[in-house]
Amino acid sequence: MSEQTTSGASAPLTPTDPAPSTTTSVTTERQPAWRRVLSGSVGRNLGLVLALLVLVIVGAVTAPDTFLGVSNIMVILRQASIIGVISIGMTLVIIAGGIDLSVGSVMGLASVVAALAVVQDLADQTHWIVMVIIALAVGVFAGFLNGIVIAYGNVVAFMATLAMLVGARGLAEILAERRTLQVGGQREFITFMNLDILGIDMLIWIFVLVAVLGWVLLNRTTFGRRTVAIGGNREAARLAGINVKRHVMWLYAISGLTAGIAGVMILGRTTAGSSVNGQLYELDAIAAVVVGGTLLIGGRGTITGTVFGVLIFATLTNVFVQNNLTSSVQAVAKGVIIVIAVLLQQRFARGPGRTT
């Protein structure tokens, strides 16, 4: 009899079990508007702006005579421009859940091929734009190879692009015969790449143009929405009708294209194609993308955040140079910033309302 009473008393408690989750849902929905804004991309970009401002203040205090000068600001932007262009392509790849370790080597290869004597002779007979087209073609071709191996060969992106990193650098050394190839004879090309438009260097304008095109591609096109969807859940994207393999192939082609553009930029700036151009640029690009808020696991990221990430590292480097600090100290500081960025990513990746 007592067993029946106990059973009867406990039975009404069962329907009340879901109550805690209902309360949590209501609490989440009633979050203040400012908190919802700060937990999104606006809040993350605001944090990047504040970090950049802190670095600017530190630079202005420690090097008051030079840091805020127009010439020094232009130096920072020029240093950011080449890495910035590579980082735009890297952002798209990482948002889709991939990685491209080959961009620095592809950039070096593109600069070497464009500086070959046969290419310069062809440019002499036609127009210097031929050098640019060939450099971009080299980048796109290398990116396509990466994409085909990864998407259709089912090779892990890390390994496929690592192979391209080694292979492209080796091919650049073979073509250049371990020499630096000068393009001093292409005066029109060099003049164009060193133009100042409205007082702003051509390299900076190229970075701005690539960043704007990358933003439009990611935020205003079906291609961009599919990129985010693939990074969020590749299988769900496939079931939704997206040709995931073809899309991934194009993403790596775009990454190769940005590496080719960077190859043209450094060729115009240094007037030389070399197999050492772009060494370790892939690591700088990945660091800028991560600091900019793009998740390494894919599914979330912004071009705006990447631009701020690039500017943060360029400004940090300039602050160290202004204060005569060694490259070793710079490397340690960059490492600390990357670790902090990854830790913050893990926190934000949990999403609003989650505590575990």
Task: Please tell me the predicted confidence (pLDDT) of residue 31.
Answer: 62
* pLDDT at residue 171 greater than cutoff 70: yes
| Assigned domain for 140 exists | yes
Secondary-structure breakdown of the chain: helix, strand, coil percentages, each rounded to the nearest 5 = 75, 0, 20
Is the distance from CB of 95 to CB of 153 less than 8 angstroms?
no
Question: Averaged over 246-255, what is the pLDDT?
Answer: 97
| Closest listed residue to residue 202, CA positions, set 211, 191, 212 | 191
- Of 25-34, 35-44, 139-148, least confident by mean pLDDT is 25-34
Is the distance from CB of 255 to CB of 110 less than 8 angstroms?
no
For the record, the structure tokens of 341 come out as 């960025």
| Assigned domain for 264 exists | yes
- Of 200-214, 225-239, 258-272, 316-330, least confident by mean pLDDT is 316-330
| Closest listed residue to residue 135, CA positions, set 264, 266, 277 | 264
* pLDDT at residue 74 greater than cutoff 60: yes
| Assigned domain for 181 exists | yes
* pLDDT at residue 274 greater than cutoff 80: yes
**Angstrom distance (rounded) from CA 8 to CA 291:** 58
Q: What is the pLDDT of residues 40-57, one digit of tens each?
A: 566 677 888 888 999 999
Q: For residue 80, with 0-12 CB atoms within 10 Å meaning exposed, 13-18 middle and 19 or more buried, which class applies? A: buried
Domain that holds residue 278: 80-348
* pLDDT at residue 253 greater than cutoff 90: yes
Task: Please tell me the predicted confidence (pLDDT) of residue 34.
Answer: 53
**Angstrom distance (rounded) from CA 93 to CA 195:** 31
Question: Averaged over 139-166, what is the pLDDT?
Answer: 96
| Closest listed residue to residue 142, CA positions, set 117, 178, 177, 166 | 166
Kindly report the backbone phi and psi dihedral angles of residue 271, in degrees, each rounded to the nearest multiple of 5, phi listed first: 60, 30
* pLDDT at residue 351 greater than cutoff 90: no
| Closest listed residue to residue 135, CA positions, set 164, 113, 167, 117 | 113
- Of 44-48, 97-101, 190-194, 200-204, least confident by mean pLDDT is 44-48
Question: Averaged over 159-165, what is the pLDDT?
Answer: 96
Task: Please tell me the predicted confidence (pLDDT) of residue 332.
Answer: 87
Q: Is the dihedral of CA 323, 328, 330, 333 positive or negative?
A: negative
Task: Please tell me the predicted confidence (pLDDT) of residue 3.
Answer: 45
* pLDDT at residue 204 greater than cutoff 60: yes
| Closest listed residue to residue 89, CA positions, set 76, 78, 75, 102 | 102
Considering the chain, what percentage of its residues have pLDDT values greater than 70? Answer: 84
- Record the pTM: 0.85
Q: Is the dihedral of CA 166, 167, 171, 177 positive or negative?
A: positive
Structural domain count, the chain: 1
Kindly report the backbone phi and psi dihedral angles of residue 86, in degrees, each rounded to the nearest multiple of 5, phi listed first: -60, -40
Residue 325: pLDDT band by 50, 70, 90 thresholds?
Answer: confident
Question: Averaged over 84-94, what is the pLDDT?
Answer: 97
Question: Averaged over 309-335, what is the pLDDT?
Answer: 87
Q: Is the dihedral of CA 227, 229, 231, 236 positive or negative?
A: negative
Residue 178: pLDDT band by 50, 70, 90 thresholds?
Answer: confident
The CA dihedral of 202, 207, 211, 212, to the nearest 10 degrees, is 0
| Assigned domain for 129 exists | yes
* pLDDT at residue 356 greater than cutoff 50: no
For the record, the structure tokens of 289 come out as 């993308």
- Of 237-251, 252-266, 280-294, 316-330, least confident by mean pLDDT is 316-330
Q: Is the dihedral of CA 138, 143, 146, 147 positive or negative?
A: negative
